Amino acid sequence: MLKPLATTVLATCLLGLAACSSKEPSGQASANPAIPVTTAVIEPSTWVDTIEAVGTTKARESITLTAKITETVRKVNFSDGQQVDAGDVLVEMTSGQQVAALAEAQATFKDAERLMKRNDDLVRQGTVSKQVADTARATHDSSQARVALLRAQLADRVVTAPFSGVLGLRQVSDGALVTPGTIITTLDDIDTIKLDFALAERNLARLQPGLELTASSVAYPGRHFSGRITSIDSRVDPITRAILVRAELPNPDHALRAGMLMTVRVLQPGREVLALPEIAIEQVGTGSFAYRVKPDMRVERVAVELGARKDGKVEVIHGIDAGTRIVVDGTVKLRDGSLISDATPAAVAPQ
């Protein structure tokens, strides 16, 4: 009885194996369908390299206005944040005593001038000696110098704007007693802003006056200020190995103020490169690969050498030629030799 039972079990197993083997060909036929991906033809494009840094803004011209003498403020002629022109009188000091002294000195000078001219005439006539005329001339010159001194003292009692700009906060009031060095206010010319920033010395050969740049500040999200490099320092800092660069940014609306921190991007001259979207690159260890589409719609995995990266794109230095169609999206599903179907949306014709 055991022998017929064993025979039955063996027959059953053989039938099962036969059934499985008969299903394999149909399964293989349905395997490896075309994988939908998006592709693009790579063409040369203009690539602008950038050098990034952070910098600090400065006014084109900036001073702190202070008192030159000890005196009482008679009148303040400005308000906080006022726009002023060169020569505008900002503060007037008490000057009654000096005005009177100037008037007296001017009168003395006129008398000395008349006496000098008269003595000169008498010397020519031989009536008085030359020594008398020399004394009169010395008195004249001394009176003239005193008039100039009093005028200078009066000028120190009037504080004027040396250039056009925006005033800061007022630090004095009418009637206040000021002494030499007392801060009155600040004055900044911010129609154009200077921007100073440091770059590593390795960038020195890439810098030159006239290069364009853009700058941004957290104070104005999404806004970019354009400018140009105007000068490069003559020395590299021996400690930081950095060089100081200065640029100027037009600031017609006075949005920028002195002392702001800004992110700077120095724009290099454009160059022609082949660039791929970063998502088209497959990174395996230290190697970088892209999938090139062959005429039979199968892909070939090629090693590429990459360069600079910017705005979601990467420069290809070696490995792919211009005019090559590569897979952009869908690389994670591919292997070398995979069959693909191009699902790239057709370009919409202009209306």
| Structure confidence at residue 18 (pLDDT) | 46
Domains in the chain (CATH in brackets) are: 35-47+271-342 (2.40.420.20), 52-59+190-267 (2.40.30.170), 95-156 (1.10.287)
Q: Which residues pair with 249 in a beta bridge?
A: 193
Burial class (CB in 10 A: 0-12, 13-18, 19+), 248: middle
The tens digit of pLDDT for each residue in 135-185 reads: 878 887 877 787 677 566 666 778 889 999 999 999 999 989 989 999 999
Alpha-carbon span 168 to 188, nearest angstrom: 8
| Structure confidence at residue 147 (pLDDT) | 66
The tens digit of pLDDT for each residue in 296-341 reads: 999 999 999 998 888 888 989 988 889 889 999 988 888 888 898 8
Closest C-alpha to 297, from 266, 329, 242, 337: 337
- Residue 210 near residue 259 (C-beta atoms within 8 A): no
The tens digit of pLDDT for each residue in 51-94 reads: 999 999 999 999 999 998 888 888 898 999 999 999 888 988 87
| Structure confidence at residue 269 (pLDDT) | 86
Given the DSSP bridges, would you call strands 242-250 and 225-236 parallel, antiparallel or unpaired?
antiparallel
CA distances from 98 to 70, 93, 145 (A): 13, 11, 15
Q: What are phi and psi of 349, to 5 degrees?
A: -65, 140
The tens digit of pLDDT for each residue in 213-270 reads: 999 999 999 999 999 999 999 999 999 999 999 999 999 999 999 999 999 999 988 8
Annotate 103-130 with three-state secondary structure: HHHHHHHHHHHHHHHHHHHHHHHCCCCH
The tens digit of pLDDT for each residue in 266-289 reads: 998 888 889 989 998 998 888 999
| Structure confidence at residue 154 (pLDDT) | 63
